[in-house]
Amino acid sequence: MGERVRIAVCNLQNGVGTIRGYWHYLVTAWKYRLPHDCRYIEQAGDFLRDETLDAAALCEVDAGSRRTRWIDQVELLAQRSGLTHSAFFPTRVVGARVNQGNAVCARTPVRIVRNHPLPGVGEPRFLSEAELTLAGLRVRLLVTHLSLERTLRVPQIHHIAEIVDRNQDPTILTGDFNISEEAELRLLDETHLERAASAPTFPAWGPTRYLDHVFVSRHFTVANVYSYDDKLFSDHLPLVVELERQD
């Protein structure tokens, strides 16, 4: 049996904490703009710590702005989880009010490679590329958060597939793909990556939709996939994938 790696995928909703039902978006909507505490980010950090992870791929996390009371949520997660190495990739910055992006936290040093812009209008979307060591391999870890609109997701997924196939290095692709049906991921299934079995992660209070996914190169096989319906710190449930290195 090869060495195993545990990775979490979490859309953290910037600590807004919509966890009770669709009606709860109305109650928590003000937090997208106005200052609020980071209690839900702290809970996420505790979850990451308790799962004894090697790395976490994060979406919708704020690296410090007026709405987070200038708290860097990535730094807070790194400290609280024990995944002390981190990298932040800004995706939406609005003056001092919003500093949103993707992030990676890990036990080993993380190097920022590139934040690839994805096509589309409206909220900017990116494929964030980091490099770190997992199970003794130098791995490129890709994190994304795609558009809510299918017409925009199609070219975004196409662009991601092109980036993925530029080399055959050990690769893990993760994120919130926001898909409405599995067929949207067909282009990624045609790359050299294999899709891990997923689990419903949205909405957190009654998950029915498979929005968060993990794809891996031939250097890994998927040993287990977990979701946690009792971990409510975002409108998405966390997803944890356990991988086994293939020699």
User: What is the Cα–Cα distance from 116 to 159, expressed in whole angstroms?
Assistant: 9
Q: Tell me the C-alpha distance between 94 and 64, whole Å.
A: 12
Per-residue pLDDT of the chain (247 residues; tens, 9 = 90+): 689 999 999 999 999 999 999 999 999 999 999 999 999 999 999 999 999 999 999 999 999 999 999 999 999 999 999 999 999 999 999 999 999 999 999 999 999 999 999 999 999 999 999 999 999 999 999 999 999 999 999 999 999 999 999 999 999 999 999 999 999 999 999 999 999 988 999 999 999 999 999 999 999 999 999 888 888 999 999 999 999 999 7
Query: Taking phi first (over 0 means left), then psi (-120 to 50 degrees means alpha), and beta for anything else, what does residue 82 get?
Result: left
Pairing of the two strands 171-176 and 212-216: antiparallel
Long-range contacts, stretch 191-196, CB < 8 angstroms, 24+ apart: 191/161, 191/164, 191/165, 191/215, 192/164, 192/165, 192/168, 192/217, 192/218, 193/164, 193/217, 194/218, 194/222, 196/222, 196/225, 196/241
So where are the chain's domains?
4-245
pTM of the model: 0.96
pLDDT at 184: 97
Token output for 89: 């990739």
CA-nearest of 242, 246, 245 to 7 is 242
Element (H, E) at 212: strand 212-216
Rounded-to-integer distance, Cα 72 and Cα 95, Å: 15
Distance spanning both ends of the chain, measured CA to CA = 10
Q: Which strand (E) or helix (H) includes residue 94?
A: strand 85-94
CATH tag, 4-245: 3.60.10.10
Q: What is the pLDDT of residue 1?
A: 62
CA 149 to chain centre: 18
Question: Over the chain, what is the mean pLDDT?
Answer: 96
Give the model's pLDDT for residue 231. 83
CA atoms within 13 Å, Cβ hemisphere of 183? 1
